[in-house]
Amino acid sequence: MKKADLVFVPSPGMGHLVSTVEFSNLLLQRDEELSIIVLVMEEGKEHIPRLATHANICFIELPHVELPPDELMIKCIEKYRAEAVEAHKDCVKEAIVKKVLPNSPKLLGLVVDLFCSSMIDVANELGLPSYLFFTSGVSFLGFTLYLSYRFDRVGREFEESDPESIVPGYINPVPANVMPNFAFNIDGYISFANHGRKFRETKGIVVNSFLDLESHAVSSLSTHDLPPIYTVGPLINHKNENTMQSNNQSQHDEIMRWLDEQPPSSVVFLCFGSRGYFGVPQLKETALGLERSGHRFLWSIRIASKGKSPRPNEDIDPKTILPEGFLDRTKGRGYVCGWAPQVEVLAHKAVGGFVSHCGWNSILESLWFGVPILTWPLYAEQQINAFQLVKDLGLAFELRLDSRRFSDEIVKSDEIANAVKCLMEEDSEVRKRVKDISVKSRKAMIAGGNSYASVGQWVEAMLASN
């Protein structure tokens, strides 16, 4: 291929940036004549040094723009994100016109993140093809597209009392209680419905998933009038390099040493993503549940920081918040930490189960390494991800499908203990299915696999449109 450039516009969150870089690395492994330019919004600049990248990836930091008020973030994060991205349109256009086009032998197009659909307008203004990079699954893509169709019929957001919905991409009818939080907020609902409408204007939709995982979703969406869908995943850190280095290397080493001392498939790993946290009452119940389960565990703990907009705080002393004597009683079979190197932990032979918030990246990592999940969703699209895993795919155990971070409901210790025992059963059908999909996920990424072929088809389609 003649040397060519591709511009990515990701959301500034770490999970979206990691997926963008992993996909970029994959593209460059396939064709070294390609160069990638990633336009990074100010909120994401701090993450750049922690991203493991190919030499042919160039980051352009976008200038400061006036963002929406913080009050909007608290009221409706989805609307805040949409308006924050919208505020970057002029500087994205300027970066492409002044910094990309003058130095580019050939610009194949603009690849926008699912939260950056307003950048499709920039591509249209510059006469460039646009493509969507959807960092969640094909089923959730179907849900996003369904929102505008439903709104045109009923003209309102979801309510908890609504009946089950037939949503393209899901095998079973979807209950209202597993819909994402934004689906119950009119501003959030409309923001996502607008994204879905814009997706249809692109030349193609690239999804971080693979055909063997979501064959039903791919098939069901193919009957709709949509741009071509390319499943190119699972896009995870396949080489097990740690893209989120801890500031405390000694803690990293201590965690891995502790795992090295544990029997194979004996440890339950609890970790809830970069934005996951619990209050002290729930942490105490979880501790008692782990103790009663009798299983070994590695537990990454975060609590909410103080302030108007709470954030996860991992700099805590577990002795001050966990039940008295818990650490002494579980010494040797339990390890409590703040930060944990999730990919490295899931890859370790000692880990046999994962209690997870069901973020899409975490799901793909867990399936890649053949570790079954116990579902404990908190925010974003995690509830409907958990529903899909348990009810549609049979690839996870249910602790909760509808739990939410700001709910007052406490998941009790007995429930946690019983669920962990199910998770760690050696010969369960779920464990067998997860092992099978793990093999298929790896095959998808190598020559002859579905995702490998899909990447090639997408690149060929881009070349044909230029």
| Active site (catalytic) residues | 16, 113
- Inter-helix orientation angle 77-86/186-199, to 10°: 50
Q: Residue for token digits 């499943």? A: 231
- Inter-helix orientation angle 360-368/14-30, to 10°: 50
Q: What's the angle, vertex CA 21, arms to CA 15 and CA 23, rounded to 5?
A: 100
Q: What is the number of alpha carbons within 13 Å of residue 233 lying toward its C-beta?
A: 31
Name residue 268's amino acid: V
CB-based contacts of 250, cutoff 8 Å, min separation 6: none
Q: Rg for the chain (alpha carbons), in Å?
A: 22
Joined together, the tokens standing for residue 326 give: 């818990």
What does the DSSP 8-state code read for residue 157? -
The sign one gets for the Cα dihedral 259, 261, 266, 267 is: negative
Calculate the CA 20 to chain-centre distance. 11
Phi, psi angles (nearest 5°) of residue 57: -105, 125
Joined together, the tokens standing for residue 373 give: 């999940």
Joined together, the tokens standing for residue 203 give: 């030349």
